[in-house]
Amino acid sequence: MVPQFLLDIKDFISQPWPWYVAGGMITLIMFLLLWLGKDFGMSANLRVMCAADGAGDYSDFFKFDWQSQGWNLMVALGAMFGGYIAAHYFSTPGEEVAHVSAATVESLRNLSPDLNFAEGAVPLIPDFYSWEALFSLRGILVIVVGGFLVGFGARYAGGCTSGHAISGLSALQFSSLVAVIGFFLGGLVMTHFILPLIF
């Protein structure tokens, strides 16, 4: 028998987390990494993986001490475990929804006929995140082109959401503010002008 208080804790964690809890947790993660003498930056892992795969033969950008970055790969591995644990132990099967606003439900309906969800029934994960979707134009654009732009843009800008928007802004770095403005300009152009063309 599992003690009742453990089940209560499980139910408590399984609720959708409010924004202020998530925000506080992200700051805690950033602090823990700083305290351990590291920096919070997930996209740096992509550079480490390229270097470990021998990309240094093609560009000096990948000739660096990538072996010292194993800790960051462990954060990425932990994030995968965290995703597994959240999806398998701290979620209610069949009730994994994104609690988006009524206005968003309406916008999605206008974007594409197959994004026609009842209010409160927008899935957490869209169905174009699947292997089958790779055989459709939408799936290729989202997974392959999206991945390429994220990997290219993050390194060109010297960081992603964790490195610039969280760590950089917390340290009051002006260059991170410029990068975050870039993130939003790109995101707005994609969402408002390009997504309607391809969905």
The smaller minimum CB distance to another protein, of residues 1 and 175, is found at: 175
Per-residue x/- track, 42-71, another protein (CB under 8 A): xx-xxx-xx--x-x--xx-xx-------xx
Do you know the residue count of the chain?
A: 199
- The dihedral through the CA atoms of 181, 182, 185, 190 has a sign that is negative
Distances (CA, A) of 85 to 46, 62, 76: 24, 33, 14
List 11, 95, 191, 196, residue binding another protein (CB under 8 A) = 191
* Subset of 134-163 contacting another protein (CB under 8 A): 134, 141-162
Find the shortest distance in angstroms from Cβ 8 to another protein.
17
Nearer to another protein, 1 or 135 (CB): 135
> Is there binding between residue 178 and another protein (CB under 8 A)?
yes
* Number of residues near another protein (by CB under 8 A): 127
* Residue 125 binds another protein, judged by CB under 8 A: yes
Q: Is 121 in the site for another protein (CB under 8 A)?
A: no
Q: What is the DSSP string of 99-120?
A: ---HHHHHHHHHH-GGG---TT
Spatial CA neighbour of 121 closest among 100, 150, 147: 100
- The least distance separating another protein from the CB of residue 116, rounded to whole angstroms, comes to 13
**β partners of residue 123:** 97
Q: Supply angle C-alpha 167, 171, 173, rounded to 5.
A: 95
Tell me whether residue 2 or residue 172 sits nearer to another protein (CB atom).
172
- Does residue 122 contact residue 100 with C-beta atoms inside 8 Å? yes
The footprint of another protein on residues 85-104 (CB under 8 A) is 85-88, 90, 98-101, 103-104
Applying the rule CB under 8 A, the residues between 9 and 38 that interact with another protein are 13-37
Nearer to another protein, 7 or 79 (CB): 79
10 Å Cβ neighbour count for 88?
Answer: 9
Q: Please, are residues 141 and 163 in contact by the beta-carbon 8 Å criterion?
A: no
